[in-house]
Amino acid sequence: MSLTALNSTHDPQLRSWLASANAADADFPIQNLPFGVFRRRGSSEPFRGGVAIGDAIVDLGAAAPLFAGLAAEAAAAAARPALNALMALGAPAASALRAALSEALRQGAPQQAALERCLAAQAQAEYAVPAQVGDYTDFYASIHHATAVGRLMRPDQPLLPNYKWIPVGYHGRSSSIVVSGQGIRRPCGQTLPQGMAEPVFGPSRRLDYELELGLFVGQGNALGTPVPMAQAESHLFGVCLLNDWSARDIQGWEYQPLGPFLAKNFATTVSPWIVSFEALAPFRLPFLRPAADPQPLPYLDSAENRAAGAIDIRLEVLLESAAMRSRGEAPWRLSTSSYRHSYWTAAQLLAHHTVNGCNLRPGDLLGSGTQSGPAPEEAGCLLELTQAGRKPVALGGGETRSFLQDGDRVILRGWCEKPGAVRIGFGEAAGEVLPALAAAT
Ligand code: CA
C-alpha cells in the first residue's frame, strides 16, 4: 500500500465532536491519530494502547467492540501493554483502525456516545515506551550533522568517503530506552582530559542531547530476505521524537575503533506518541540529491522515494534550567530544524538495514541520527551549537551552556504544517538531567 496517498482521513475540513481536537494549535487533531500506551497516572492498572485525540485518549481495547473487521482486530491487538501485536499486523491493519477512528470521532458520528465512554484524559495519564523494543539501531542520516561533527574532529576531512554511499549506523541498546518524563542520571565513565596522558574516572562533564526522530518497525521481515525500497515504508509503523543522550567526553576516549558504546547506551528518551506514516502523507516532499553527489545505488532508489521520500517534520529543542524553573520562566529554544534536510530517507534506512538479510521485528526502533539543518543555528546538539564547548550558548536570564548541567530539562518537539493541511504535532520528548550517583564518583 502507498503511504503517501491522501484519503478521507486527511480531509482538512474534518472536525471532531471532541472540541479540544479542533483548536488551531492542537497537536492531536482528528487528522493525526497517533498511537501510544497509557494508564491512569499513579495507578497500578496495566498499560494499554490508545490513540491521542485533542486533550484525550481513546482506549483502543475498550473501543474495539465498536469497530468491525480488520479495524476491530487491530484495536483488540492494541489493547496490550505494548503495541508490538498491532505493529505485527502490518500497515493495512493500522490504516483500517485509523479510518474507523476517523469516522467515529468526526462531528455527527453515530458512535459518539459509545466512544465518549472509552476516553481518558491526557492530563491524568502516564505513559510507557509504546513498544517492547527488541533491537535498536541508530543512524547518522543528516549530512549537516555529520559534516559539522566531522569538522570538529578531522578539519582536513570532515566527511568520510562512505558517507554519501551508505546510510551509516550502529547497533544501539534497547534496555535503556525510556519514555518522556523519566529523569536521566548523569553517567560516570572514563575520559581523557585534554593534555593528559592517562584517563580519569568520574561523572561526564560534557553531557549532550541529540535531536532525532525514532522510526518504529511494523511488520517484520524473515531472516535472509531483504525488504526492497518499494515495500520499505509499509514495514514502518510510525515516527516518534527521540533524544539520543550522549556523553561527549566518554565518547571521545572510547569511540575508536568500534564506535559508540557507554557514551550512548545509558539513556535514550522517546515521546509517548507514534505518528503514523499515513498521517504524515500531506507533508511529503521530493527527495533531492545534489547533482554533484553520488546518486543512490539501485537498492536505495525508487520512483516513490524520489517523488515523496522526504517529510517536512519541523523540529525544535528547548532547555529549561533549574534556575529558569524556579523563576517560572518558559523553556528557552536552543534550535529549530526539519527532517526534510535528511540525507537519507526512512525508506532508505530500512532497505539498507535489511539488504544483507538482517531481519527486523515488530517494535524494533531505528534512530534517524541528529537532524541538524544546513544553517549553524539549526544544529541538533550542543556539541555542534557550541563548537565542542568553545562557544557557550546564552540561555537568556544570564545563564550560558557549553554542555548540560544537572537540573537541565531538555524538551524536543515536532510538528507538521503547511497551507491546505491541518497542523499535526508529535507532543514532546522531555527528560531532566539528574546528578551522578555519589557512590560512583
Ligand atoms: Ca545519535
> What pLDDT does residue 286 have?
97
Q: Where in the chain is the domain with CATH 3.90.850.10?
A: 136-440
What spacing in Å lies between the alpha carbon of 140 and ligand 1's midpoint?
A: 7
**Mean pLDDT (10-residue bins), the chain, 441 residues:** 86 98 97 98 97 98 98 98 98 98 98 98 98 98 94 91 97 98 98 95 98 98 98 97 98 94 98 98 96 96 96 98 97 98 98 98 98 96 97 94 98 97 98 86 48
CA separation, residue 309 to residues 232, 277, 296, 297, 338 (Å)? 11, 11, 13, 15, 14
User: What number of other Cβ atoms are within 10 A of residue 270's Cβ?
Assistant: 28
List Cβ<8 Å contacts ≥24 apart for 23-28.
23/54, 24/423, 25/423, 26/54, 26/423, 26/425, 27/52, 27/415, 27/424, 27/425, 27/426, 27/427, 28/52, 28/53, 28/54, 28/273, 28/424, 28/425, 28/427
Q: What is the DSSP letter of 409?
A: E
User: What number of other Cβ atoms are within 10 A of residue 126's Cβ?
Assistant: 16
Catalytic positions, written as ranges: 145
Name the CATH topology of 136-440. Answer: Fumarylacetoacetate hydrolase; domain 2 (3.90.850)
What spacing in Å lies between the alpha carbon of 395 and ligand 1's midpoint?
A: 24
Match 556523553 to its residue by C-alpha cell.
Answer: 247
- pTM: predicted TM-score of the whole model, two decimal places: 0.97
What spacing in Å lies between the alpha carbon of 363 and ligand 1's midpoint?
A: 19
What spacing in Å lies between the alpha carbon of 172 and ligand 1's midpoint?
A: 9
> What pLDDT does residue 90 have?
97
Q: Where in the chain is the domain with CATH 2.30.30.230?
A: 14-127
H or E stretch at 24 = none
- Radius of gyration for the chain, computed over Cα atoms and rounded to the nearest angstrom: 21
What spacing in Å lies between the alpha carbon of 5 and ligand 1's midpoint?
A: 31
Q: What is the DSSP letter of 106?
A: B
CATH number of 14-127: 2.30.30.230
Contact at 8 Å (CB) between 272 and 179?
yes
What spacing in Å lies between the alpha carbon of 342 and ligand 1's midpoint?
A: 13
> What pLDDT does residue 439 have?
56
d(CA 154, CA 145): 14
Neighbours of ion ligand 1 (CB under 5 A): 138, 210, 244
User: To 5 degrees, how large is the angle CA 192–CA 197–CA 198?
Assistant: 55
> What pLDDT does residue 1 have?
63
What spacing in Å lies between the alpha carbon of 264 and ligand 1's midpoint?
A: 8
